Amino acid sequence: MELKKCPRCGNFYTTELEVCQNCKTNESLDVEKVKGYIEQYGISGSIEEIAISTGVNVKNISRYLKSGQSYGISGTEMSSSEVEGFSGSEVNL
């Protein structure tokens, strides 16, 4: 296993998870909030709007959208440039 830096808290860890063990529960809760929002409203508006509606950090939403499949958010895989463009403008996918 390789040493990874947790994208939520910055601590280093060695597991196959996307985040460290300490952040795992909050990560799961946040992913469910974002999934629920997308299922209900679709991907429209801006990342900031999703963040305000769900209470999930913009940085984490961007990370979920960049790797949608690994978070179980089907059909939302976006490149870095797409996520950056999405974060400041209205988008309907």
- pLDDT at position 44 is 76
Counted domains in the chain: 1
User: How far is 38 from 61, CA to CA, in rounded Å?
Assistant: 11
Q: Along the chain (93 residues), what's the average pLDDT of each consecutive run of 10 residues?
A: 92 92 95 92 86 94 80 58 49 36
- Would you say residue 30 lies in a domain? yes
- pLDDT at position 67 is 78
- Would you say residue 10 lies in a domain? no
- pLDDT at position 88 is 45
User: How far is 5 from 17, CA to CA, in rounded Å?
Assistant: 11
pTM: predicted TM-score of the whole model, two decimal places: 0.72
- Would you say residue 2 lies in a domain? no
User: How far is 9 from 90, CA to CA, in rounded Å?
Assistant: 29
For residue 30, what are the domain limits? 26-88
- Would you say residue 17 lies in a domain? no
